[in-house]
Amino acid sequence: MIKKYIYGSPIETGAVVIDMFPENGKPDMFYEEDYKPNCLEFGMTDADVIYGLGEANRGINKRGYIYTSFCNDDPVHTEEKLSLYGAHNFILVDGFERFGVFVDTPSKITFDIGFTDSNILSIECETGDFALYIITGESLYDIVRQFRGLIGRSYIAPKWAFGFQQSRWGYRTADDVRKVVKKYRESGIPLDAVYLDIDYMERYKDFTVDKKSFPNFKEFVAEMREEGIHLVPIIDAAVKIEDGYDVYVEGVRDNHFCKTADGRDFTAGVWPGKTHFPDFLNSKTRKWFGDKYKTLVDDGIEGFWNDMNEPAIFYSEKGLASALEAANEAEGKDLDINSFFALKDKFTGLSNSDKDYASFYHNMDGKVLCHELVHNLYGYNMTRAAAEAFERFDPDKRMLIFSRASYIGMHRYGGIWTGDNQSWWAHILMNIKQMPSLNMCGFLYTGADLGGFGGNCTRDLLLRWLAFGIFTPLMRNHSALGTRAQECYNFGNTEDFKNIISIRYSLIPYIYSEYMKAALSDKMMFRPLSFDYPEDSFASSVEDQLMFGDGLMLTPVYTQNARGRYVYLPEDMLYIKFKSPTQRKYALLPKGYHFIDVALNEVPLFMRKNKLLPLCKPTDRTDNIDTSRFEVIAYADRPCEYVLYDDDGYTTDYDKPEHFDSIAIKEDVNGKLVIFSNKQIVKVSLFN
Ligand code: MIG
């Protein structure tokens, strides 16, 4: 059951798609005497576990720390950080009472989950203007599914976007890209896409392609498609100020940019130098900006990533002027420690400053609003602009689109990647923990920069990370300019990489099926163990294993030099160790703790009873996947079924019944368990 409450006059975010009549008064959940609308408070018993918050930092159980929803471009995701790129204000309380809470507001809000006082959960919303949804249900999963119904169907990516993708900030020319593709193809490591980072543009201008580095772009896009490769260019939020640049000229002429208090176009420095910020909260601006993607779409581009849309601001004109003034004043002076650091802070504090966010304005279809009040809607609406444009260009065709910044609601328009992580072992674990929380908030097409964005990756780190990444819908290796080359062919013997990534390709029909079913019926592909085993008192403290899809469990290795890891089995399970896509080791393991040894080129997977896993023949690109023939692994002692979803991967007719197929274990006339399917089943490994 969902109850809605309204406080003050909340700004419409578009997160919720179901019209609900608000209840009056306060929800009985929040019974504190000093209850006030800008701070919701309630007590937690020692046993309470708190889930949610999507992309937020730290554990699957959010308890014990404080989290601020304020989309933030921070490339160093250490434990003390309060906000990352997304603002996902949904939490799930499991304990004495069980309920979900969604606080719908585009402004800054803080979840203090037992940080200040270990038994108090408080949600602070400075403005006091918000819509509150309290969701109760029979299980955690039931509450999530009701919530997902409230916020609407998740974005669906084209099938090729489930292939392996290679990215790096620093591919400067068409030849750089050709080289990457050639090396992948030569080494037999499957690949479906190569990303174009800011380097492809002309002076970092959105919707331009540098003609010197990419002569005849359209032909190049086609040439890559011939190789089975999609090129995915980046689009940044801010628009370069440059005479004669059409996006800048039209934006100024037609008032598409955010304004200062005195009505001038707000100016700040980002990649290209001085820029203006499109007012994505305005529907006319969304249409205008969205239409700009057409030039690249006409060149054959079928996917984009939207970056810097928190929005990231390196410096504002005002901020820089005041820092320079302080520097001038300091010149020739004998600076003591305090004045030196004050001066230094003037410069280090220039980027993404609250002061700047409070200094420009949106015109939200007639309503003028200061940016700080609607900050969390910016990246969301940039991505919405793109998605709505793609629908106008061709309503029957899916495009790949994902964003860095997001808010709940954006999950209907695109996916997200989890931003600038580092080549740290800790960030594999962070990737693992973010996946179920993101799924709770509707973000299904998502993944981390595999291998880590910042820092220097090592062979073992990349292999272990890929062995988890083969399960995430967005499977992309991406790294920053200046770091060690991170493409899979740069770490000596490529066979291990080929092996791990080929396992992904044999799993794509399954992963794609699970993705589609999750999107079409508001399910989570990745779940904490406690969702599937609510009666198991150990399950909620397991944060390094995940339930995946229909009856699988992931137990990734995420520590340096480990030969394997301990796993917790909440029940008897089938252990499948992939040595290669076609070679596996099986073991039936009883409920409890086990040590499993996992080599760098292997992938561990567990299967619940009465479940099936179809596998296809691995290929080097999604174009070549054959979904008419399968090998099946089954762990069954009674009839059971797997629902396989398949379609052309492009069209938007998702719901057609002919996309659903069945692979079943049934009893034959003699009572023997046999496989049934209208697919060709080339091999069955049945365990019971
Ligand atoms: O300020 O475009 O998160 O993926 O490679 C850095 C360059 C801007 C940040 C993105 C990252 C991308 C990088 N961008």
The pLDDT of 103-116, averaged and rounded, is: 97
Using alpha carbons, select from 544, 489, 428 the residue that is nearest to residue 181: 489
Backbone angles phi, psi at 348, to 5 degrees: -70, -25
The pLDDT of 390-398, averaged and rounded, is: 98
The pLDDT of 206-224, averaged and rounded, is: 98
The pLDDT of 270-290, averaged and rounded, is: 97
State the burial class of residue 366 (Cβ atoms within 10 Å of its Cβ: 0-12, 13-18, 19+).
Answer: exposed
CB 258 within 8 A of CB 371: yes
What three-state secondary structure class fits 19?
Answer: coil
CA 452 – CA 475 distance, rounded (Å): 12
- Using the structure block, give the residue that is written with the tokens 């981390």: 448
What three-state secondary structure class fits 284?
Answer: helix
Neighbours of 210 (CB within 10 A): 18
The rounded Å distance from CA 631 to ligand 1 centre is: 40
**What's the token pair of residue 223?**
């040439």
The pLDDT of 188-217, averaged and rounded, is: 98
The rounded Å distance from CA 307 to ligand 1 centre is: 7
How would residue 656 be classed by pLDDT, with cut points 50, 70 and 90? very high
CB 11 within 8 A of CB 380: no
What percentage of residues in the chain have a pLDDT greater than 90? 94
State the burial class of residue 560 (Cβ atoms within 10 Å of its Cβ: 0-12, 13-18, 19+).
Answer: exposed
CA 558 – CA 429 distance, rounded (Å): 6
659: which DSSP letter?
A: G
37 pLDDT above the threshold of 80: no
From 72, 76, 204, 307, mutation site for ligand 1 pocket: most ligand atoms within 8 A of C-beta? 307
CA 414 – CA 157 distance, rounded (Å): 8
Using alpha carbons, select from 680, 193, 684 the residue that is nearest to residue 475: 193
CB 48 within 8 A of CB 61: no
The response to whether residue 464 sits with its C-beta less than 6 Å from ligand 1 reads no
83 pLDDT above the threshold of 50: yes
The rounded Å distance from CA 477 to ligand 1 centre is: 13
State the burial class of residue 78 (Cβ atoms within 10 Å of its Cβ: 0-12, 13-18, 19+).
Answer: exposed
The pLDDT of 265-272, averaged and rounded, is: 94
Residue type at position 161: A
How would residue 38 be classed by pLDDT, with cut points 50, 70 and 90? confident
CB 477 within 8 A of CB 463: no
Q: Which residues pair with 476 in a beta bridge?
A: 165, 449
The response to whether residue 108 sits with its C-beta less than 6 Å from ligand 1 reads no
The rounded Å distance from CA 308 to ligand 1 centre is: 7
CA 352 – CA 342 distance, rounded (Å): 18
Measured CA angle at 95 (ends 92, 100), to 5 deg? 20
Q: Which atom of ligand 1 is nearest to the CA of 480?
A: 5
479 pLDDT above the threshold of 70: yes
**What's the token pair of residue 278?**
């499109």
Using alpha carbons, select from 312, 305, 307 the residue that is nearest to residue 275: 312
What string of DSSP letters covers 415-455? EEE----BS-THHHHHHHHHHHHHHHTT--SEE-EET-SBS
The response to whether residue 169 sits with its C-beta less than 6 Å from ligand 1 reads yes
The rounded Å distance from CA 124 to ligand 1 centre is: 31
pLDDT, tens only, 482-529: 999 999 999 999 999 999 999 999 999 999 999 999 999 999 999 999
81 pLDDT above the threshold of 80: yes
- Cis before 311? omega within 30: yes
36 pLDDT above the threshold of 70: no
pLDDT, tens only, 149-162: 999 999 999 999 99
The pLDDT of residue 33: 46
The pLDDT of 649-653, averaged and rounded, is: 97
31 pLDDT above the threshold of 60: no
Q: How many residues in total does the chain contain?
A: 688
The rounded Å distance from CA 122 to ligand 1 centre is: 34
- 2-151 in CATH: which number? 2.60.40.1760
The pLDDT of residue 28: 67
**What's the token pair of residue 522?**
């508001």
Q: How far is CA 668 from CA 444, 664, 665, 676, in A?
A: 38, 12, 9, 10
Give the DSSP H or E segment for 290.
helix 283-292
The pLDDT of 471-475, averaged and rounded, is: 99
Domain ranges of the chain: 2-151
The pLDDT of residue 32: 46
30 pLDDT above the threshold of 90: no
From 85, 197, 449, mutation site for ligand 1 pocket: most ligand atoms within 8 A of C-beta? 197
**What's the token pair of residue 428?**
């594999």
Give the DSSP H or E segment for 512.
helix 495-520
Can you say how many angstroms the Cα of residue 118 is from the centroid of all Cα atoms in its chain?
30
pLDDT, tens only, 131-144: 999 999 999 999 99
Average pLDDT, the chain: 96
The response to whether residue 198 sits with its C-beta less than 6 Å from ligand 1 reads yes
SS3 sequence of 557-625: CCCCCCCEEEEEECCCEEEEEECCCCCEEEEEECCEEEEEECCCCCEEEEECCCEEEEECCCCCCHHHC
How would residue 7 be classed by pLDDT, with cut points 50, 70 and 90? confident
The response to whether residue 419 sits with its C-beta less than 6 Å from ligand 1 reads yes
State the first-to-last Cα distance of the chain, in angstroms, to the nearest integer.
Answer: 39
Q: How far is CA 522 from CA 151, 396, 517, 652, in A?
A: 10, 22, 8, 17
The pLDDT of 593-619, averaged and rounded, is: 98
